[in-house]
A and B are shown apart, each in its own frame.
Chain A
Amino acid sequence: MISLALIVIPFIFAFVVAFCNTNTARLLAIIASIINLLVTAYAFSQFDKTSDYQFAYLADWIPSIGAKFHIGMDGINILLILLTNILSPIILISTVVNHNKPSLMYGLILFMQAALLGVFLSLDVLLYYLFWELALLPIYLIILLWGSENKYKTVVKFFIYTLAGSLLMLASILYVYLKSPGGNFSIDNFYNNHLSVLEQKWVFIGFFAAFAIKIPIIPFHTWQASTYTEAPTSGTMLLAGIMLKMGTYSLLRWLLPITPLALSSMLPYAIGLAVIGILLGSIIALTQKHFKTLLAYSSLAHVGLISAGIFALNMDGMKGGLLQMFNHGIIVVGLFYIAEIVNRRTSSYQLSELGGIRSFAPQLASYFLILLLASVALPLTNGFIGEFLLLNGLFQYNMWVSAIAGLTIILGAAYMLRLYQKTMLGLNYQYQRIIPDLSITEKTVLIPLCIIIIYIGIFPGYLLDVINPSVEKLLSIIKIVN
């Protein structure tokens, strides 16, 4: 029931909130998301890591085709549920809009939260697909209603691109459904699908296309930078913080266990693309001139590492991947929020127009520095634990691949420090007005993020422990056939 509550609470509030006036909507939305966070915390405390699918809810949905409403938690999705519920209140608090009916924005964010939780919680493939598509709707509207000037072209591209991927995935899903022995959409049936190697290869390609677009993996990434840049920051946070994890999560939940026979021939290519993504993303970020675009390309590099680690098919890579999905969400939301704060004060995202902010707003600069250090994986931040495990997992796959992927710690330092220098350091006399330091609302967002960053950096044990049995089990499912 807890799983169901997690989806239903934000879903109902989304509609309520949309019809309130702005202030009530904001308050109500934040309350709803905090309730959801409390429910998650309760679930976390009751979570038994050794047993399968807990807090499950199972009901008939479309009996004629064997689709069930089946949701539940295990070690694979629990971190993502935690992430979604931590970030939702934070994104809501950080959201300030004053045109196009702001209450609708809060409603859409809650709707998005419900859909994302649906994606992560679903244990029935058709249900999962439904939520997957449902999650596209609110973000589409958010960009369309509150994006910047060039949004139309961007949003159409984003929408068509992801929809094309989804259709390929749907084809794969339907194929497995028709050929599988159970004749239903349950997760177990899909895992034991008895498809031949060739069939699994085609199924792999269908799923991979959808996930590679969502993550994104090069060369399916070209929607990303422009969408991140044009979207309002709340939308960018949703996209980069949570939504792209739909892709990386689905690799673990669906792609790998459904097509284990295809992996030995397909994964080298997948790892190759992911590692190229790490390099290209980092290299492009080195000379970017726009704050948000730079962060978008750095994000491309980071998720490339997450995907590569997962594809390495070992414990360290997969656990590192899961943990890093959580970490990256926390870090990237913080960084985009910094971009937003800077923009609110200077009306600019252009690095050439910024600089010297540290003299005006030392606190802003300090929180930015903590986020930055986590992003470049400095030890004692959460980013280090994730990237260490990922690179170590990749190392067990192949030493040289890991060394190339490891270049991200050098290039990452180079472009992030450049970003910091261009925005925060030096002197700038061109600002029209004094730049105020952080407001209380802004601190309410940044302080929890920084606490999480450092806490997980020092005590990662609990989270790693919680996901351990499920990852082990998943790996054994994949490894049996290989």
Chain B
Amino acid sequence: MRELVLWIPLLPLIGFIINIIWGKQLPKIISGGIGKLSVLASFILVCIVWPSVSSNQGPVTYAYLNWIETSSFTIPFSFLIDHLTLVMLGIITGVGFLIHLYSDGYMKEDEAYYRFFAYLNLFIFFMLLLVMGSNLLITFIGWEGVGLCSYLLIGFWFKDHANNDAANKAFVINRIGDLGFLIGIFLCLYHYKTLDYAALNSIAATIPIGATVVTLITLSLFFGATGKSAQIPLYTWLPDAMAGPTPVSALIHAATMVTAGIYLIARLNGLFLAAPLTMNIIFCIGITTAFLAAIMAIKQNDIKKVLAYSTVSQLGYMFAALGAGAFASGMFHLTTHAFFKALLFLCAGSVIHAMSGEQDIRKMGGLKGNLKITHLCFLIGTLAISGVPPFAGFFSKDEILAVTYTKSFWMFVLLSVTSVFTAIYMFRLYFLTFHGPFRGTEDQKHHLHESPWTMTLPLVILAILAVFGGFLGIPEVFHMPHIFKTFLSTVISKPGTEVSHFFEYCLMGVSILALIIIVIGVYKYYIKNNNLPEASESTLNWWQKAIYNKFYIDELYNAVIVNPITQLSKWVYRILDRKITDGIVNQIGLSTLLSGQSMRKLQTGGTGFYIFAMVIGIIAMLCINFLFK
């Protein structure tokens, strides 16, 4: 078992090493084959490990070697396998494999095909480390590693500096969060002398609720999570990250990497529960992010940007659940979101593929005729994310709304409004892309085609998961077992709060009703009345402009942080460093030279002068000796 578990991350790593060294010489079928098979093999290993672990009641730790050893602490290289890990392993290797398969078709024509698979495999390796690590530092390896892969893949087409800028932005902003993570690690080491998850969670049970140390630790870790999981204030990198190839957006920037923050907090649920202040902050930040990102998504015209803001918003839902103490609900939404958001991104990729690289929905329309499978799958994804029963998103999202209600009524209202916005931007996207007349060029129209089977097969599988995934967590009113919650019960001790049956029925009824109204409204506005999004910014009024420009947050960050630091850098170099510090040094040098010239005059050769100087010297020495006695 111990070796078997080790091979789960090692196989993708081997795939990476082979492809990065020899991939260029290998034919595409082999380099792509290695890339795909290594992840498939990992997935099979997860399936083999699954039954024996899930029947265990407690977590199992496998230690391999001591990574960093000092006199005050030891950090082993070890894996923790429990039910929470299994869920993540399933998503990463399962959805990961489907996206690898899809990439085969999507990247077929690219000259750096092998490099793409190498990076994807490396990503899977680090992501597996992240979720399998039994302590914070092993997770941190994965945490930084997936950041690196994200950087490499966003800037995959490195000849265009727009992509490189986006990649740099993603890495640097993530690094800001990582410093928070590191400080959290130092705090744990300093106060508890351990980074082990199990130990930290059990220590949390022994200390008073709300102790300053725990609040500081959890806040630092949460700050790290806002970087990786794109929450306020560090979310701005994710929309830019869409510069990468679309499979990357699906795998890294929707299904797996961006959920690392959710995983981390769920993993340390004991510790976070001991810090109510942090929990409240997580709750508020989650809901605010969900709300603002959903608004921003409404005015975007790039098919991937809409989905990117939608991801930010959905991650906000998950954080809201965590903040309300419903860790299992957060993880449940993470799982269903991985299915339907990966699906939506892959569909978008299929659309972009068919449109020869076009991403602007104003130039699409009427694609449902040519892209039948893609259209159907995208519709399923849209229904799932909007929360239409019985699709996956309905169950997980309703659960989050319900727990939010138990915590704060006004936050519940805000999150419900967010749900309405979600449905609006998704159906706007759907109708503009697939319905109405075709608005592209003649060239594109001739070129329109459904994607090859390697691309549509993953779509179909994900669509099935997006339809049925929700049945893992059926609300309590239907008197069916909540499979997901039961499965995680060994890791997440605190059960979510229950709401009254009456409220559950109301919630479902109202959300279904609202959805029907929204769908009809959006259809009427965009298709019946043929209202297209404005071609240029100038026709927008001020609030539309503000939304269109994402509330000018990027501009604000540039004005307040980036530009001042750049100016400071130049000023420090020119004035402080060259002029002042170096200037003083040069002055000292110069004055030494000058004093040397003037000193020369003292060497008169007259004995009388020398004796005089000697006497003065002796007196001075005596004085100094006397003073310092």
Contacts and interface: CB of A to CB of B under 8 A. Distances in A.
Interface of A: 157, 160-161, 198, 218-219, 221-223, 280, 283-288, 315-316, 319, 356, 358-359, 366, 373, 378-380, 385, 388-389, 391-392, 395-396, 399, 402-403, 406-407, 409-410, 413-414, 417-418, 421, 424-427, 458-461, 464-465, 468, 472
Contact of B582 (A222, A395, A399): A222
24 contacts: A157-B589, A160-B589, A219-B584, A285-B569, A286-B565, A287-B566, A287-B569, A315-B70, A315-B72, A316-B72, A366-B20, A378-B144, A379-B137, A380-B145, A389-B70, A395-B186, A395-B189, A402-B183, A403-B179, A409-B182, A414-B172, A460-B68, A461-B68, A464-B68
A348 B141 CA distance: 36
Nearest to A407: B179
Contacts of B161: 421, 425-426
A319 B190 CA distance: 17
Given A378-B144, A417-B168, A406 B158 contact: no
A392 B572 contact: no
A425 B71 contact: no
Contact of B70 (A285, A319, A406): A319
Contacts of A472: 71
Contact of B164 (A287, A414, A421, A461): A421
A427 B70 CA distance: 47
B175 A379 contact: no
Contacts of B570: 287
Contacts, number: 133
B577 A284 contact: yes
In this complex, the member of B566, B585, B589, B628 whose beta carbon has the largest number of chain A beta carbons within 10 angstroms is B585
B283 to A, nearest CB: 26
A410 B581 CA distance: 26
Contact of B581 (A222, A406, A407, A458): A222
Contact of B176 (A285, A396, A410): A410
Given A218-B581, A395-B186, 16 more contacts: A157-B586, A219-B584, A222-B577, A223-B585, A284-B569, A284-B573, A285-B569, A379-B145, A388-B68, A406-B183, A413-B171, A413-B172, A417-B151, A421-B161, A460-B67, A461-B67
> 3 closest Cβ contacts across the A-B interface?
A379-B141, A222-B582, A395-B186
Interface in B189-220: 189-190
Contact of A280 (B167, B175, B576): B576
A219 B572 contact: no
Size band of the interface chain B makes with A: 35 or more
B159 interface: yes
A31 to B, nearest CB: 30
A283 B572 contact: yes
A70 to B, nearest CB: 29
Contacts of A286: 565-566, 569
A472 B628 CA distance: 36
Contacts of B569: 283-287
Given A160-B589, A287-B570, A421-B168, A409 B71 contact: no
B110 interface: no
Chain B interface main SS type: helix
A263 to B, nearest CB: 20
A221 B577 CA distance: 9
Contacts of A373: 148
B190 A395 contact: yes
A152 to B, nearest CB: 14
Given A283-B569, A358-B158, A379-B140, A392 B186 contact: yes
Nearest to A378: B144
Contact of A219 (B141, B182, B581): B581
A225 to B, nearest CB: 8
A396 B572 contact: no
A460 B74 CA distance: 12
Interface in B576-599: 576-577, 581-582, 584-586, 589
Contact of A406 (B137, B182, B584): B182
B575 to A, nearest CB: 11
B104 interface: no
A378 B159 contact: no
A417 B171 contact: yes
A283 B567 CA distance: 10
Contacts of A427: 159
A365 B573 CA distance: 28
B164 A280 contact: no
Contact of B577 (A280, A356, A359, A399): A280
A459 B77 CA distance: 10
A299 to B, nearest CB: 14
B178 interface: yes
Contacts of A287: 566, 569-570, 573
Contacts of B168: 414, 417-418, 421
Contacts of B67: 458, 460-461
A219 B72 CA distance: 34
A429 to B, nearest CB: 11
Contacts of B178: 409
Contacts of B66: 461
B442 interface: no
A283 B159 contact: no
Contacts of A221: 581
Contacts of A161: 585
Contacts of B158: 358, 424-426
Interface in B540-572: 565-566, 568-570, 572
Interface string B10-38: 00000000001000000000000000000
A288 B454 CA distance: 47
Given A284-B573, A315-B71, A391 B141 contact: no
Given A406-B183, A413-B175, A425-B155, A464 B69 contact: yes
Given A222-B585, A280-B576, A407-B179, A396 B69 contact: no
Nearest to A355: B161
Nearest to B168: A417
B175 A409 contact: yes
A285 B145 CA distance: 24
B206 to A, nearest CB: 23
Contacts of B160: 426
B189 A468 contact: no
A392 B183 contact: no
A265 to B, nearest CB: 17
In this complex, the member of A283, A395, A465 whose beta carbon has the largest number of chain B beta carbons within 10 angstroms is A283
A389 B155 CA distance: 31
